[in-house]
């Protein structure tokens, strides 16, 4: 390890290894090491442009930084006896090129603005990856919805058979929910993608820096204007964690459905072996472990959000070292969410759904009783509450056939329904499962046409999201390649 250039002036005395490990953010800083080099390059270019740093020094720094950019941050910089990666990189840089050049890297900035700039850069990349995963997830749900518009299944409330619906309708429900997760992250991105650089410790600097310049070079869409806010706030991270927590809550529900559906009791789906495990004692077992882990990851996400939020809530302005402890929660949450959604795509795409089993269950538990009540309202002018009472009483008394209905109607209204023209055939028709679905033509309902319209609209919506995402990704990669190109230009 090279001497820690940050500590050496003010502080004396060796610190025990344990203490250094305890205080260091190095483990989590692996996530921001590459971002740190980009931030360093942009900072040096700006210092040079503003004539704060002469050409020769700028060239010396940039060629060392570009070498790290090309070859990767050297392992020596990750020694966790450094407080963090910023100290690690600066110390190894100074050891490599000497203090006369390397010692000028940190002009006009602090690790406080540096670290949060790195976090925002890295997080923005993670959001783009997460948005891409959400696009894939929505795509697979829409493909399955198109395949299964005719697959009738029971819909549940309170996990009891409730009314018939289709598997397509279920797929579309989740697609819509994940589209809102997409929207939330999309909006959060705008607040993440702003540059705190130039805030220095919190009070900016006396050098004539140009904050807009570094922001533009790094592909940020603007500044975190107030320099105290820039180093102190982590609400951008909390917001993303909250959005991911909400997304994972939905993913967890979907997993819960798959876990239940793959059970022998229900048998609506067979998950691919790749997503399952077996038992060390019960040789027959096939367990939906991936979905179970994912269900638990939703809880971990909430834990990450809670830990991060609690870390900030009691801190006085502005930077406090506590903030360092928030960052591992952020990366952990981001990682869990990204991998969960990617796995979910494959788990759904490879699952085998069983339409026969679904159809066999669709009419159970008098699931079309509402249709019967609706028919009595439509064809016999009964108030809905009266029809609901008659059908409910018939269910209580036995089955939904003409004699039982007549009996129930007499109990409730004093007259039967046969005398008003109700026939056994009309009752049977009203109770038909496919008919029940076909009649649910309201916008967003499960009837075939409604589902087809929805699939079409959702696909168009998804395409728009995909296009905007492509644009956003191109803007970022364009800015960063210009930065590197310009830096190389300066060195030559
Ligand atoms: N490693 C720190 C963090 O993650 C940044 C360094 C700021 N340190 C300091 N003593 N001001 O927040």
| Enclosing H/E stretch for 269 | strand 269-270
The pLDDT, as a whole number, for residue 7 is 82
Is the CB–ligand 1 distance for residue 80 below 6 Å?
no
Spacing of C-alpha 365 from chain mean position: 37
The residue nearest atom 12 of ligand 1, judged by CA position, is 324
Distance in angstroms (rounded) separating the CA atoms of residues 426 and 439: 15
Q: Is 161 a catalytic residue?
A: no
- Hey, what domains does the chain have and what are their CATH numbers? 17-108+482-491 (1.10.275.10), 112-210+219-362 (1.20.200.10), 369-431 (1.10.40)
DSSP 10-38: T--S---HHHHHHH--HHHHTTTHHHHHH
The pLDDT, as a whole number, for residue 363 is 97
The pLDDT, as a whole number, for residue 491 is 95
**Considering only CA atoms, which of 352, 484, 347, 362 is closest in space to residue 435?**
362
The pLDDT, as a whole number, for residue 182 is 98
Sign of the CA dihedral with 439 first, then 444, 446, and 447 last: positive
DSSP 280: S
The residue nearest atom 4 of ligand 1, judged by CA position, is 324
* Both structure tokens of 119: 């976090």
In this structure, the number of other CB atoms found within 10 A of the CB of residue 46 comes to 25
Q: Which ligand 1 atom minimizes the distance to the CA of 83? A: 1
Distance in angstroms (rounded) separating the CA atoms of residues 374 and 313: 54
Is the CB–ligand 1 distance for residue 321 below 6 Å?
yes
Q: Is 158 a catalytic residue?
A: yes
Percent of the chain as helix, strand, coil, to the nearest 5: 70, 5, 30
Q: Which ligand 1 atom minimizes the distance to the CA of 201? A: 11
Q: Which ligand 1 atom minimizes the distance to the CA of 323? A: 12
Is the CB–ligand 1 distance for residue 111 below 6 Å?
yes
Classify 263 as helix, strand or coil.
coil
The pLDDT, as a whole number, for residue 6 is 83
How far is ligand 1, taken at its centre, from the CA of residue 339, in Å?
Answer: 28
In this structure, the number of other CB atoms found within 10 A of the CB of residue 269 comes to 21
Spacing of C-alpha 5 from chain mean position: 39
Beta partners for 156? 161
Report the residue among 319, 322, 328 best suited for mutation to probe ligand 1: largest number of ligand atoms under 8 A from its CB. Answer: 319
Cβ partners under 8 Å of residue 201, min gap 6: 110, 112, 113, 231, 319
Q: Which ligand 1 atom minimizes the distance to the CA of 327? A: 4
The pLDDT, as a whole number, for residue 346 is 98
How far is ligand 1, taken at its centre, from the CA of residue 111, in Å?
Answer: 6
Distance in angstroms (rounded) separating the CA atoms of residues 310 and 238: 10
- pTM comes to 0.96
Is the CB–ligand 1 distance for residue 114 below 6 Å?
no
The pLDDT, as a whole number, for residue 2 is 72
DSSP 154-170: EEEETTEEEEEEEHHHH
Beta partners for 153? 165
Sign of the CA dihedral with 212 first, then 215, 219, and 220 last: negative
* Series of mean pLDDT values for 10-residue runs along the chain (492 residues): 80 85 95 98 98 98 98 96 95 96 98 98 98 98 97 97 98 98 98 98 98 98 98 98 98 98 97 96 96 98 98 97 98 98 98 98 97 97 98 95 97 96 97 97 96 98 98 98 98 92
Is the CB–ligand 1 distance for residue 311 below 6 Å?
no
How far is ligand 1, taken at its centre, from the CA of residue 388, in Å?
Answer: 65
**Considering only CA atoms, which of 79, 35, 51, 445 is closest in space to residue 219?**
35
| Enclosing H/E stretch for 352 | strand 352-353
Is the CB–ligand 1 distance for residue 112 below 6 Å?
yes
How far is ligand 1, taken at its centre, from the CA of residue 119, in Å?
Answer: 12
The pLDDT, as a whole number, for residue 52 is 98
Beta partners for 166? 152
Is the CB–ligand 1 distance for residue 27 below 6 Å?
no
Is the CB–ligand 1 distance for residue 327 below 6 Å?
yes
How far is ligand 1, taken at its centre, from the CA of residue 217, in Å?
Answer: 24
Sign of the CA dihedral with 16 first, then 18, 23, and 25 last: positive
Is the CB–ligand 1 distance for residue 254 below 6 Å?
no
* Number of residues assigned to the chain: 492
Look up tokens 């948005």; give the residue: 131
DSSP 86-155: HHHHHHHHHHHH-HHHHTTTTTT--HHHHHHHHHHHHHHHHHHHHHHHHHHHHHHHHHHHHHTTT-EEEE
Is the CB–ligand 1 distance for residue 353 below 6 Å?
no
Q: Which ligand 1 atom minimizes the distance to the CA of 85? A: 1
Cβ partners under 8 Å of residue 419, min gap 6: none
Is the CB–ligand 1 distance for residue 25 below 6 Å?
yes
How far is ligand 1, taken at its centre, from the CA of residue 115, in Å?
Answer: 7
Residue 210, φ and ψ in degrees, nearest 5: -130, 100
How far is ligand 1, taken at its centre, from the CA of residue 182, in Å?
Answer: 31
The pLDDT, as a whole number, for residue 10 is 87
Cα angle value 178/183/188 (rounded, 5°): 125
Catalytic residue among 279, 468, 477, 481: 279
Using CA atoms, how far residue 490 sits from 41, 147, 207, in Å, is 11, 56, 22
Is the CB–ligand 1 distance for residue 84 below 6 Å?
yes
**Do 402 and 422 meet the contact criterion of CB atoms below 8 Å apart?**
yes
**Considering only CA atoms, which of 84, 73, 142 is closest in space to residue 110?**
84
**Do 182 and 386 meet the contact criterion of CB atoms below 8 Å apart?**
no
In this structure, the number of other CB atoms found within 10 A of the CB of residue 313 comes to 7
The residue nearest atom 10 of ligand 1, judged by CA position, is 321
Catalytic residue among 24, 110, 148, 158: 158
Distance in angstroms (rounded) separating the CA atoms of residues 67 and 431: 74
Look up tokens 């085998």; give the residue: 352
The pLDDT, as a whole number, for residue 14 is 81
| Enclosing H/E stretch for 270 | strand 269-270
**Do 46 and 213 meet the contact criterion of CB atoms below 8 Å apart?**
yes
The residue nearest atom 2 of ligand 1, judged by CA position, is 324
Distance in angstroms (rounded) separating the CA atoms of residues 429 and 448: 18
């Amino acid at each position: 390890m090279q001497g820690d250039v940050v500590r050496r002036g003010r502080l004396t005395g060796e610190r025990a290894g344990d203490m250094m490990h305890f205080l260091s953010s190095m483990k989590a800083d692996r996530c921001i090491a590459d971002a740190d080099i980009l931030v360093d390059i942009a900072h040096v270019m700006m210092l040079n442009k503003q004539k704060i740093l002469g050409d020769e020094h700028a060239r010396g720094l940039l060629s060392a930084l570009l070498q790290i950019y090309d070859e990767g941050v050297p392992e020596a910089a990750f020694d966790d006896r450094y407080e963090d990666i910023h100290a690690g990189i600066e110390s190894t840089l100074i050891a490599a090129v000497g203090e006369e050049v390397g010692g000028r890297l940190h002009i006009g900035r602090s690790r406080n603005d540096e670290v949060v700039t790195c976090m925002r850069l890295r997080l923005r990349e993670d959001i783009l990856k997460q948005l891409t995963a959400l696009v894939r997830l929505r795509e697979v749900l829409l493909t399955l919805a198109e395949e299964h518009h005719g697959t009738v299944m029971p819909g549940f409330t309170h996990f009891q058979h409730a009314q018939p619906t289709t598997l397509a309708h279920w797929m579309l429900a989740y697609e819509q929910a994940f589209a809102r997760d997409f929207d939330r992250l999309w909006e959060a991105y705008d607040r993440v993608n702003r540059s705190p650089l130039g805030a220095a410790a919190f009070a900016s600097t006396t050098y004539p820096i140009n904050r807009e310049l570094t922001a533009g070079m790094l592909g940020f869409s603007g500044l975190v204007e107030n320099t105290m806010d820039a180093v102190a706030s982590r609400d951008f991270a909390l917001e993303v964690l909250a959005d991911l927590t909400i997304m994972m809550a939905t993913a967890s529900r979907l997993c819960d459905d798959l876990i239940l559906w793959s059970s022998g009791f229900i048998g609506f789906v067979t998950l691919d072996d790749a997503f399952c495990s077996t038992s060390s004692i019960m040789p027959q077992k096939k367990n939906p472990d991936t979905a179970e882990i994912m269900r638990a990851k939703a809880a971990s996400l909430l834990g990450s959000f809670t830990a991060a939020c609690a870390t900030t809530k009691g801190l006085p302005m502005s930077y406090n070292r506590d903030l360092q402890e928030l960052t591992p929660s952020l990366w952990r949450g981001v990682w869990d969410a990204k991998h969960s959604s990617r796995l979910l795509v494959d788990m759904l795409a490879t699952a085998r759904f069983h339409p026969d089993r679904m159809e066999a269950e669709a009419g159970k538990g008098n699931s079309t009783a509402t249709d019967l009540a609706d028919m009595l309202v439509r064809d016999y002018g009964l108030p809905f509450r009266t029809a609901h009472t008659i059908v409910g009483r018939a269910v209580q008394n036995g089955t939904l056939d003409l004699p039982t209905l007549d009996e129930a109607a007499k109990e409730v209204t004093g007259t039967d329904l046969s005398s008003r023209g109700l026939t056994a055939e009309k009752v049977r028709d009203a109770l038909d499962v496919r008919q029940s679905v076909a009649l649910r033509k309201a916008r967003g309902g499960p009837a075939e046409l409604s589902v087809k319209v929805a699939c079409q609209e959702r696909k168009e919506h998804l395409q728009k999201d995909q296009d905007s995402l492509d644009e956003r990704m191109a803007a970022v990669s364009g800015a960063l390649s210009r930065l590197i190109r310009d830096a190389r230009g300066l060195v030559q």
